[in-house]
Amino acid sequence: MITLATVRRTLAAHRPTAADQPGSQLAAVALMLAPAGPDLEALFIRRAVRADDPWSGQVGLPGGRAEPRDADLLATAVRETREEVAVDLGGAERLGILDDIYPRTPVLPPVVVRPFVFGLARRPRVTAGVEVDSAFWVSLGALLDPGARRDVTLDVRGVSRTFPAYVLGRDVIWGMTERILTSFITAVSEQR
């Protein structure tokens, strides 16, 4: 089991690595943690199916690309979370920042994503915005279950490819979101 105290301690000691990817657009996501009995749970979204979205229909974290009006990437994560799931992170505890990541495949847009981790006192009311099909909470215990993480073969733009993923019923968390989760879970699991 991962506690909020463990997350605080782990991320207080973590020095995030910034990615150096010239020509990439900057983006930010919010990994929101809320108590669920003795466990914590994280909020995920299933992106709406849209032809103009390279991550269309995938499970991810609330977030998106930086806009000129954003003061910094933290502001991007806060704004995108409000737009996508109507959650105001203004009163949330900012627990830390994870390492920047970027797509490993050239078919995706050049983007560098900075993940911010937030602690919430309770599960907030969530309302899916236009870019989101649905939002759902997953306990960290479910992600830690040895059977949850395995390789899956998916059809990506007409090509079958195998990826590490978290398989939670019909929800498959793979790609950059899987990489964010795995780095987070690995870091906090070492501190338990």
pLDDT digits (tens, 9 = 90+) for 76-119: 999 999 999 999 999 899 999 999 998 877 666 788 999 999 99
| pTM of this structure | 0.93
Q: What is the DSSP string of 142-163?
A: HHHSTTTEEEEEEEETTEEEEE
Sorted by where each begins, the domain ranges of the chain are: 4-189
CATH number of 4-189: 3.90.79.10
Q: What angle do CA 3, 16, 121 make, to 5 degrees?
A: 30
Rounded percentage of the chain residues whose pLDDT exceeds 70? 94
Q: Is the pLDDT of residue 17 over 80?
A: yes
- What is the separation, in whole angstroms, between the first and last Cα of the chain? 8
